[in-house]
Structures are given as structure tokens and as C-alpha cells.
């Protein structure tokens, strides 16, 4: 688990979970890992976990925005707007545990 982004509105955390094999063989190591991103909308108090193709698309989109930005402030504003599109899909309320 690694926090990638933290603004006044959103937090994005990356998760990498090693793939497991039911038989304990080397297949788990060969399969790589699986993971995704948890996006927390601080203002709405909701979160969403994305993985697979959606997570890959999210990552590529953020990288493109950062590469195109002419300043850090511009990049942060663009990333916040981009994350907002994914955060609208959030259904899970954030709870402390």
C-alpha cells in the first residue's frame, strides 16, 4: 500500500497484492501481482477501488496529465478534475475501523 496523491478533496492509494497459487507452486511468482487503486472522495465520504483495465487507464490518464502540465499547480488542478470523474462512481462509504 502506497499513498500516491493527497489533496483537499481526494486521496489515491496504490495496492499491490502478490498473486497466489492454490497449489503453492512457482505459478504465483510467474503470474506477477495484482492490485489497483483506492480513490477516496474526502468531501463525499465515499471510496472506490479500481483494478485491471480500469486501473491501467486511470494510471495512464494521470501520467499524461502530469506530463502535459506546465506547472505543478496546473498538474494538481488537472489531476483533481480527472480523479473527480472516477470519484463519481464511488458508492462505498468511508468508515473508520
Residue 28 binned pLDDT confidence (cut-offs 50, 70, 90) = very low
Position 17 confidence tier, pLDDT thresholds 50, 70, 90: confident
Instruction: Please tell me the predicted confidence (pLDDT) of residue 7.
Output: 95
Q: pTM for the full model?
A: 0.79
H helical segments located in 12-51: 27-31
For residues 79 and 63, give the distance between their C-alpha atoms in angstroms, rounded to a whole number: 9
51 vs 23, which has greater pLDDT? 51
Amino acid at each position: 500500500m502506497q499513498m500516491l496523491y493527497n489533496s483537499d478533496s481526494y486521496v489515491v492509494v496504490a495496492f499491490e497484492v502478490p498473486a497466489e497459487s492454490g497449489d503453492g507452486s512457482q505459478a504465483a511468482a510467474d503470474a506477477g501481482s495484482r492490485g489497483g487503486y483506492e480513490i477516496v472522495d474526502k468531501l463525499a465520504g465515499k471510496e472506490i477501488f479500481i483494478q485491471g483495465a480500469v486501473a491501467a487507464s486511470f494510471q495512464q490518464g494521470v501520467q499524461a496529465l502530469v506530463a502535459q502540465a506546465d506547472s505543478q499547480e496546473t498538474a494538481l488542478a488537472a489531476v483533481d478534475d480527472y480523479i473527480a470523474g472516477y470519484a463519481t462512481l464511488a458508492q462505498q462509504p468511508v468508515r473508520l475501523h
